[in-house]
Amino acid sequence: MPLPSPAYFTPGLDADPELAAAINGELARQRDGIELIASENIVSALVLAAQGSVLTNKTVEGAAYARYYGGAEYADAIEALAIARATKLFGCRFANVQPHSGSNANAGAFLGLLNLGDAILSMNVAAGGHISHGHPATLTGRDYKITHYGVNRVSERIDLDELRDLARAARPKMIVAGGSAYPRAIDFAGLRAIADEMDAFLLVDMAHFAGLVATGLYPNPFPHAHVVTTTTYKSLRGARGGMVLWNDERLSKRIDAGVFPGVQGSVMLHAVAGKAACLGEALKPDFHAYNEAVLDNARALAATLADKGLRIVTGGTDMGLMLVDLASTGVTGDVAAGALEKAGLAVNKNMIPFDPRPPEAPSGLRLSSNAGTTRGFGVSEFEKIGDWIARILRDPSDLRAIAETRQEVLALCRAFPIY
Ligand SMILES: *Cc1c(COP(=O)(O)O)cnc(C)c1O
């Protein structure tokens, strides 16, 4: 199948050859490599068009139909469309679609619902949590009193008994669940019971499993969480940015004010249009089939790697992402990721729970089926990917194996073109 030229996707770029070369280089990289990084996906031409549209010229502030600037008639319609689709997709009552990122969605919800210095109980980054949940290097880590929970040493899963003990000691005003490297289902009802005992909010950050929630393939946080946050560019396969979702009208003013003016200024209307676009796509029946394939493919990849003797953290996955413990190979995550990238397989190094190694050279890799599934890979393609990963890990300095794999990866990519 002939691929459209890069210029098709980037009209006007010819005016800046230096920039064009880099952007077209990135397009070629995406076309010819296999994306296994969990925070990425491959958006439709519609989402690309929305994000590259004239909406970038328009500045609006405040909520739809209550703007500070004039000329907002279409801006209002676009934002209202995104909100209507978000609430329909997740079966919730309210949405704020303005957060410029997942981190801003969290910071806005924290700011709206908490007081400075309040205690938050959230998952440790080392156990799979996300830095925007109060890591000391972030503003959230400075503004609130953070206590972290991890996972049980044996099960490598969240242990509600441990978490309850931590909560009873820390008396948090908010419990945060959902991470960036936690591959398993979360007991939201159990967390809510603990939050209720503390009179605390439960915030679920579903960035990595929002698509599965939307299609009923992962536990639904909405009956239990007071507030749910997500990014829109990972499992939702859309615009860069985030959202906050909730059901209780009494929280609306606080959450909206937490996002704007709390943590950000005017709306990125082109991104909001991109969110409307991807949410519209997610409401269509094929998004369900896509998410089923995400799960099938992730399980096939995990099983293939396990067959080759690699340990999958927790023994498997309930979503697109998984963590691989490389300890048995003697290869560290950074070296593995470097060798795999040369073979055209993009992955990221990752800490595993109780990792004895430092974050720069951790024991693990994080993999995801999200993007590969979007380009049409099925179980047999993901089994092949597992074989390639195992081959490279056997000896990451084997340049011949890397070169051979690169050719096979390229052939597979050409058979499943993007754009
Ligand atoms: C990716 C991610 C975020 C942050 O997203 P940014 O858009 O990079 O700010 C927040 N929470 C979780 C769980 C994530 O995985």
255-304, pLDDT tens digit by residue? 999 999 999 999 999 999 999 999 999 999 999 999 999 999 999 999 99
Nearest-angstrom CA–CA distance, 419 and 414 = 11
Statement: 286-415 belongs to CATH 3.40.50.720: no
Known binding-site residues for (6S)-5,6,7,8-tetrahydrofolate equal 129-131, 249
Domain locations in the chain as residue ranges: 51-282, 286-415
By CB atoms closer than 10 A (0-12, 13-18, 19+), residue 303 is middle
112-157, pLDDT tens digit by residue? 999 999 999 999 999 999 999 999 999 999 999 999 999 999 999 9
Q: Which CATH architecture has domain 51-282?
A: 3-Layer(aba) Sandwich (3.40)
Check pLDDT > 90 for residue 3: no
Nearest-angstrom CA–CA distance, 147 and 129 = 12
10-37, pLDDT tens digit by residue? 778 889 999 998 998 999 999 999 999 9
Find out whether 371 and 36 touch, Cβ atoms under 8 Å: yes
- For the CA of 233, the closest atom of ligand 1 is 7
| Ordered strands of the 364-368 beta sheet | 311-312, 321-325, 364-368, 348-350
Pocket of ligand 1 (CB under 6 A): 39, 101-103, 130, 132, 178-180, 205, 207-208, 231, 242
Residue nearest to atom 4 of ligand 1 (CA): 102
